[in-house]
Amino acid sequence: MLKSLAAASAAILMASPALAADVTLRLAHFAAETHPGHIAAQQFAERVAERTDGAVEIELYPANELGSPPEQLEQTLLGAIDMNLPTHGGLDKYEKAFGTVMTPFAFRDYAHAHEVLDGPFTEWVTPKLEDQGLVMLSHWEYGFRNITNAERPIEKPEDVAGLKLRTPPEVQIVAAVEGLGASATQIAFPELPNALNQGVVDGQENPIGVIYHFKLDDFQDHLALTRHVYNAMIHVVNKDSWDRLTSEQQEIVREESAAAGELMRELVVQQEEDELAELEARGMSVTRPELAPFRETVAASEAMDRVADYTGHENMEQFQSMLGSGS
């Protein structure tokens, strides 16, 4: 009996390694666990595991568990984290071409942005990113950015003037809000709720999903759909980590990354109106101003020159030539 138990235990131990994933990749991102970004990441992890029969396991670290967005991206470049979902504003610190996407008022709508990014833009920047040691898998979503504040509703550009707004440390966003007459202050996102609560700044700007899922309406009375800058999460993987996968596994990962990106896009667009309705139900005032005056005000300022100086004028010309291809 004891010999039988010992033999059975030995068989289980010998079988255990076969049940473990051959490759484990850590995917870190900044989205809240309730946000479409994490829902898409969960689908990606589940489908990759299923299609590789468990040979490739994706471990998820949402909501800045492994550091701030810039820290996560740096760790991905170094290989300490295998996969990341930075925005264009994160990647442009390493390759300026990515910064052109965040040109104020560049895209008419989501369809326009997706067509440009999935087509000529991806063809243009993928080799540039590989030079930095990252493999670009697909564009996901983040959304058009909008302004919230605790002072007044925003109906026209003049209503933005004089507001002190928190922005991430990205030239394009700073240029956009300062082009509208606000002053920009950089505060790390984890510190933002406390800064809003204490009145360190009057407001901030982010996509609707971020405002909703991080409950920024607890500190802000007014939301204006200014849609001044668009950006997205980009699914990237460290080149050395990528090379650990077989060609078949790489194909699966690419396909499921693209599928996850499509899911996130659908969820973001579908949920925005529901989230806006809920924000209003929770007491937030939402305005939907005519955007042409905002676009004209920014264009008349130094904002566009500041962005082109940052991204490089040749990069900006290349990007601008792509915008006409959108339908």
pLDDT tier at 324 (50, 70, 90 boundaries)? confident
How many residues can be counted in the chain? 327
Name 158's Cβ contacts closer than 8 Å, sequence gap at least 6.
Answer: 181
pTM of the model: 0.87
Displacement of CA 88 from its chain's centroid (Å): 8
Distance CA 11, CA 319 (A): 60
Which residue is associated with the tokens 């550091």? 67
Residue 7 belongs to a domain: no
Express as a percent the part of the chain with pLDDT over 70: 93
What is the Cα–Cα distance from 172 to 303, expressed in whole angstroms? 8
Maximum Cα–Cα distance for the chain, whole Å?
A: 87
Q: What is the domain-level CATH number for residue 293?
A: 3.40.190.170
Q: Cβ distance 201 to 165 under 8 Å?
A: yes
Contact present, 95 and 128 (Cβ < 8 Å): yes
Two tokens, residue 316: 């900006």
pLDDT in tens, 179-189: 999 999 999 88
How would you class 6 by CB atoms within 10 Å of its CB: exposed for 0-12, middle for 13-18, buried for 19 or more?
A: exposed
Helix (H) or strand (E) holding 300: helix 292-300
Burial 32-44 (b: 16+ CB within 10 A, else e): beebbbbbbbbeb
Q: 196 forms bridges with which residues in the sheet?
A: none
- In single-letter form, the type of residue at position 158 comes to E
Provide the pLDDT confidence category of residue 21 given band limits of 50, 70 and 90: low
In tens, the pLDDT along 197-245 reads: 999 999 999 999 999 989 999 999 999 999 999 999 999 999 999 999 9
Question: Looking at the predicted structure, is the pLDDT value of residue 20 above 70?
Answer: no
Residue type at 202 in one-letter notation:
D
> What confidence tier does 1 reach under pLDDT thresholds 50, 70, 90?
very low
* Residue 318 covered by a domain: no
324 domain-assigned: no
105: domain range? 12-313
Residue 150 lies in a domain: yes
Whether the per-residue pLDDT at 108 is higher than 80: the answer is: yes
Asked if 76 and 28 count as a contact pair (C-beta separation under 8 A), the reply is: yes
The alpha helices in 204-286, defined as continuous H runs, are: 208-213, 239-242, 247-281
Q: Is residue 117 part of a domain?
A: yes
Domain count, the chain: 1
What mean pLDDT value characterizes the chain? Answer: 93
Phi–psi pair at 286, nearest 5 degrees:
-115, 125
Tokens of 176: 């956009």
Distance CA 90, CA 103 (A): 14
229-239 pLDDT, tens digit per residue, is: 999 999 999 99
Mean pLDDT score, 41-63: 98
